Structure 1
């Protein structure tokens, strides 16, 4: 009888030990998971604070829904920003052409933050990547890369602000200027006419003229398409 009681007590002790170990293991797992989650959250917040460390962006005054200083639209669009050596995806982005500034939206508050320009190496919106260029670019700032071949093509947007009184009220207009640059051997060449292209790529001038006729390119009607196609063709016949 005594042996039976001792056996039962031993079994109860063993079951208790196993249960305690399982609880301890579960608790350790939960604590580890929570710690990992906290690390991810802290890292995420750290990345966000790293990106959103510019200054507040004050929306410029406008007098018309069709007049604004930003590129394409004054509404947020999703894009990516390469900022201070790190790339941030799925960010709400605005590009203020008038001031040549990149603005991002804080997801937690919706506030607008103007990034430190020197820390923005590139950003991407509306299917175009803008790069922050200095010399030998004509003017330091953001240039859209529309062709990334050996003879790249960049576009530079600028908006001039004009204010005038109309019917006793202040009217604000933003006039956009678009300049295209063809880069050959590291030098930037502004392209205003098709003749500029032939002068820059003079070693293949006859081939380019023939290609332009075959493709029926209308330079004045679609300058960007014409420049990109000619630059692409030039690169393909270089070897």
Structure 2
């Protein structure tokens, strides 16, 4: 039954899309109205299919069969957040999300039964979780400079981006009384996108290397604002990229 509804709404959506496109005008007002109509049609289509099975077809996610002495494996905190995800070009809103940084696995929550489902990472375009936007970079997109995978977007404007590869790893300690004790440590990496090229960066020297054409101005800005690339790496890198972008 639901598949019939899906086909009907898909037919409706296609007819609506092409008919509105055929009659759309070139004025700014008409362009805004046209875009609004398309988004409204998409919203109706998504509501008719809710919960949309295309997003929930992966294997079920299972947590860890042991506890950790320190740390937790997920992005930001050990709980689900409601966000959005663009998956294979389709935008899904109000989705329960979690991101396992040890397994590098994005998880969506099936609204029917609260099952945790693993999505296929390389089908992810973008998603929004705990006030952070993430993107998936494919191998051909990132070329050979950085590894393909999911990156947090710390800064994005024009052709400049600062990306953070959030990862965690487990370290184990064998004890006589308590057996194996497990700890979680951060294992992050950063990259800058300048134009169409990606650069792996870790600190001030790397930033100055990437932005060598404005090195002097950037050095002065870093010194003047006391940017600390060791203790406050995210902020120092983001401010440096943003300043270069303003020059």
Give the TM-score normalised by structure 2. Answer: 0.74
Question: 1:10 — aligned with what?
Answer: none
Is residue 158 of structure 1 aligned with residue 167 of structure 2?
Answer: yes
Worse-matched range after superposition: 153-162 or 132-141: 132-141
Question: 1:146 — aligned with what?
Answer: 154
Question: 1:17 — aligned with what?
Answer: none
The answer to whether the 8 A contact 2:126-2:135 is kept is yes
Question: 1:27 — aligned with what?
Answer: none
Question: 1:225 — aligned with what?
Answer: 235
The answer to whether the 8 A contact 1:82-1:88 is kept is yes
Shift in Å, 1:59 = 0.8
Is residue 216 of structure 1 aligned with residue 220 of structure 2?
Answer: no
Shift in Å, 1:162 = 2.2
Among 75, 85, 89, which residue is 1:85 paired with?
89
Instruction: Give, in whole Å, the separation in 1 of the partners of 2:82 and 2:136.
Output: 19
Instruction: Give, in whole Å, the separation in 2 of the partners of 1:218 and 1:72.
Output: 22
Shift in Å, 1:138 = 1.4
Question: 2:71 — aligned with what?
Answer: 67
Worse-matched range after superposition: 131-140 or 52-61: 131-140
Unpaired runs of at least 5, structure 2: 10-43
Among 44, 48, 53, which residue is 2:52 paired with?
48
Instruction: Give, in whole Å, the separation in 2 of the partners of 1:182 and 1:171.
Output: 36
CA deviation vs aligned residue, 1:157-179 (integer Å, no higher than 9, x gap)? 12222233232322222221111
The answer to whether the 8 A contact 1:67-1:172 is kept is no
Unpaired runs of at least 5, structure 1: 1-34
SS at match of 1:56: coil
Give the TM-score normalised by structure 1. Answer: 0.76
Question: 2:39 — aligned with what?
Answer: none
Instruction: Give, in whole Å, the separation in 2 of the partners of 1:77 and 1:223.
Output: 25
User: Which structure's CA Rg is the greater one?
Assistant: 1
The answer to whether the 8 A contact 2:82-2:129 is kept is yes
SS at match of 2:167: strand
Shift in Å, 1:233 = 1.1
Is residue 130 of structure 1 aligned with residue 134 of structure 2?
Answer: yes
Instruction: Give, in whole Å, the separation in 2 of the partners of 1:73 and 1:42.
Output: 29
Question: 2:186 — aligned with what?
Answer: 176
Specify whether residues 76 and 65 from structure 1 end up closer, same or farther in structure 2 by C-alpha distance, changes over 3 A only.
farther
How well do the aligned residues superpose, as a CA RMSD in angstroms? 2.3
Shift in Å, 1:42 = 9.2
Runs of 4 or more off by more than 4 Å in structure 1? 38-43
Question: 1:12 — aligned with what?
Answer: none
The answer to whether the 8 A contact 1:63-1:172 is kept is yes
Among 113, 117, 128, which residue is 1:113 paired with?
117
